[in-house]
Chains A and B, each alone.
Chain A
Amino acid sequence: DAGVIQSPRHEVTEMGQEVTLRCKPISGHNSLFWYRQTMMRGLELLIYFNNNVPIDDSGMPEDRFSAKMPNASFSTLKIQPSEPRDSAVYFCASSWDRANTEAFFGQGTRLTVV
């Protein structure tokens, strides 16, 4: 397996534009996580899915952020409209199960909003 695949690796966009980040989890994993990492706040959990169903979205900062998982092999994180403070590295991770199991991370998407 190629691991968790995220695209794009880098995204530069203007404030106000819509941004869509994509993630393909490892085949067979039933939990998927979206994280955001900044120097100031570290690694923050935004949302996680179990069996394609959103379980905890309490980390989603505001209504401008939305995430979907239409099937077991694909998830998106959308920001609309984007703002400069959304600039960060966004990671997707997947695992066999929610608790006490290893989370495999993708390489991340570095988002810059200017």
Chain B
Amino acid sequence: TQLLEQSPQFLSIQEGENLTVYCNSSSVFSSLQWYRQEPGEGPVLLVTVVTGGEVKKLKRLTFQFGDARKDSSLHITAAQPGDTGLYLCAGDNYGQNFVFGPGTRLSVLP
């Protein structure tokens, strides 16, 4: 069974700070997705990374896929209260199965 670990589990920061959250596994994934989930809602896709070493930017969010396609990071610059939510990574095992990590719960205080 493939497992994804995410760290930290909880993160509370002040508006304007930078942060990085991590998604790690001992398994190789064909692609990895990052979702954000707000209270009372379902997860919403932020990005999909496919190539080892790939870096994608979405405004203040920077996503990186590890060279070996086993891990990924999400960096947020100048966090805003609107960034508050549960950040989930999800790995695709070459179409065999699709697993979610436990998530990082981010709180950005004004």
| Residue ranges of A at the interface with B (Cβ–Cβ < 8 Å) | 4, 33, 35, 42-45, 48, 56, 91, 93, 98-100, 102-108
Judging by beta carbons under 8 Å apart, are A103 and B103 in contact? no
Judging by beta carbons under 8 Å apart, are A107 and B43 in contact? no
Name the CB-closest residue of A to B46.
Answer: A102
Question: How long is the Cα–Cα vector from A91 to B44 in the complex, in angstroms?
Answer: 12
Judging by beta carbons under 8 Å apart, are A105 and B30 in contact? no
B66 at the interface (CB under 8 A from A): no
Name the CB-closest residue of B to A101.
Answer: B48
Question: How long is the Cα–Cα vector from A56 to B99 in the complex, in angstroms?
Answer: 13
Judging by beta carbons under 8 Å apart, are A100 and B50 in contact? yes
Given contacts A99-B30, A100-B31, contact A107 B48 (CB under 8 A): no
Question: How long is the Cα–Cα vector from A56 to B93 in the complex, in angstroms?
Answer: 13
| Residue ranges of B at the interface with A (Cβ–Cβ < 8 Å) | 30-31, 33, 40-45, 48, 50, 88, 92, 94-95, 97-103
Question: Could you write out 25 A-B pairs with CB less than 8 Å apart?
Answer: A4-B42, A42-B101, A42-B102, A42-B103, A43-B43, A43-B100, A43-B103, A45-B99, A45-B100, A93-B42, A98-B95, A99-B31, A99-B94, A99-B95, A100-B95, A102-B33, A102-B45, A102-B48, A105-B42, A105-B43, A105-B44, A106-B42, A107-B41, A108-B40, A108-B42
Question: How long is the Cα–Cα vector from A107 to B42 in the complex, in angstroms?
Answer: 5
Judging by beta carbons under 8 Å apart, are B31 and A91 in contact? no
Determine chain B's interface SS by DSSP, over half rule.
loop
6 closest A-B pairs by CB: A105-B42, A99-B95, A42-B102, A43-B100, A102-B45, A100-B31
Beyond A91-B42, A100-B92, A100-B95, 20 additional contacts (C-beta under 8 Å) are A35-B100, A42-B88, A42-B100, A42-B101, A43-B43, A45-B97, A45-B98, A45-B100, A48-B98, A56-B97, A93-B42, A99-B30, A99-B92, A99-B95, A102-B45, A103-B43, A105-B43, A107-B40, A107-B42, A108-B41
Across-interface contacts of B43 in A (CB, < 8 A): 43, 91, 103, 105
Question: How long is the Cα–Cα vector from A75 to B48 in the complex, in angstroms?
Answer: 27
Judging by beta carbons under 8 Å apart, are A100 and B30 in contact? yes
Name the CB-closest residue of A to B1.
Answer: A58
